[in-house]
Amino acid sequence: MIGRLNHVAIAVSDLEAATRTYRDTLGARVSAPLSLPDHGVVTVFVELPNTKIELLAPLGEESPIAKFLARNPDGGIHHLCYEVDDILAARDRLAGEGARVLGNGEPKIGAHGKPVLFLHPKDFCGTLVELEEA
């Protein structure tokens, strides 16, 4: 069912410092920062030949990554995003297997403008998993 690893999301408190780490220290190609107020984050994409790292910093009072950063002040890997062909079929298969989909089970439009769902970390090896319709 799952296809490509679309991205690895790393939450950081200081986006400029994280950008310098990936651009200058690790020598990767990075995008300009992009504010996504609807998602409560500012993001910088690190473009690798086969996938992306997304550096996420909080935007606004209600950022969904604020609690994670309070627990992990140095930053850390926040989630993995796998692509699926059909997000509703994926959701129904997962529900049939007893896995927990977060929220109300209806896909939302994610940061890339495509339908996404998040899955409960306790059902996926302690890892928050995002599914994105490719």
Active site residues: 130
User: Residue 106 and residue 127: Cα distance in Å, rounded?
Assistant: 20
| CB 79, CB 68: distance < 8 Å | no
Q: Where are the alpha helices (DSSP H) in 38-133?
A: 66-71, 87-96
The binding track of 100-119 with respect to a second copy, each residue x by CB under 8 A or -, is --------------------
Structure tokens that stand for 106 in this block? 């209806």
Given candidates 41, 42, 75, 81, which one binds a second copy under the rule CB under 8 A?
75
* Closer residue to a second copy in complex, CB, 38/131: 131
Give the HSE-up count for residue 99: Cα atoms under 13 Å, Cβ half-sphere: 20
Query: Which residues form the interface with a second copy (CB under 8 A)?
Result: 1-5, 8, 10, 12, 18, 21, 24-28, 48-51, 53, 55, 72, 74-77, 80, 82, 93-94, 97, 99, 121-127
